[in-house]
Amino acid sequence: MENFFNPRSIAIIGASNSFFNLGASICTILQYMHFNGGIYAVNRKGESVNGVPGYTTVLDIPEEVDLAVIIISSKSVPQTVRECGEKGIRHIIIESAGFAEGGVEGKTRQQELDEIVRHYGIRYMGPNCLGTLNTHSRFCCFFGIVPGMYDDVFEKPGALSYIIQSGGVGALVIDSLQAEVSRINKVVSIGNKADIDEADLIAYFKDDNTEVIGMFLENVQRGRKLLEIAREVDKPILAYKVGRTGEGARAAMSHTAGMANNDRIFDSMCRQAGIIRLNSVSELYALPKIFTSMPLLRGKRIAVFTNSGAFGGITADFIVGSGLQMAQLSTETQEKLRKTGQLFNASNPIDLGPGLSIQTFIDIFDILLSSDEVDGLLPIPNVWQDVVIDAIVELVKICHTYDKPAAIYIPNAPERIIAIKSERQIPVFLSPEEAVRALEVSYRYHEFALKKRHLAWRSHYSSQSTDEETSRTLDDRMTRQAS
Report d(CA 361, CA 397) in Å as an integer. Answer: 13
Burial string for 385-396 (b: 16+ CB within 10 Å, else e) reads eebbbebbeebb
Instruction: Write out the DSSP string of 294-307.
Output: SPPP-SSEEEEEES
Domain count for the chain: 3
19 and 91 inside one domain: yes
Which domain does 67 fall in, by range?
Answer: 1-127
Residue 152 belongs to a domain: no
Better-predicted residue by pLDDT, 368 or 355: 368
CA 160 vs CA 37, 208, 283, 423: distances in Å: 25, 11, 13, 20
- Each residue's pLDDT tens digit, 388-413: 889 999 999 999 999 999 999 988 77
Nearest to 239 by CA among 291, 290, 279: 279
- Of 127, 143, 175, the residue that ends a domain is 127
Residue 140 belongs to a domain: no
Residue 132 belongs to a domain: no
pLDDT of residue 474: 57
Angle between helices 414-424 and 386-402 in degrees, nearest 10: 60
Residue 436 belongs to a domain: no
- Each residue's pLDDT tens digit, 329-353: 999 999 999 998 878 899 999 998 7
Report d(CA 480, CA 221) in Å as an integer. Answer: 10
Over its C-alpha atoms, the chain yields an Rg (Å, rounded) of 25
50 and 169 inside one domain: no
DSSP 345: B
pLDDT of residue 259: 46
Residue 440 belongs to a domain: no
171 and 229 inside one domain: yes
Q: What is the mean pLDDT of residues 254-277?
A: 77
Residue 24 belongs to a domain: yes
Looking at residue 403, which CATH number applies to its domain? 3.40.50.261
171 and 249 inside one domain: yes
Report d(CA 201, CA 210) in Å as an integer. Answer: 11
Looking at residue 8, which CATH number applies to its domain? 3.40.50.720
- Each residue's pLDDT tens digit, 26-62: 999 999 999 999 999 999 999 999 999 999 999 999 9
115 and 222 inside one domain: no
212 and 288 inside one domain: yes
Report d(CA 470, CA 380) in Å as an integer. Answer: 43
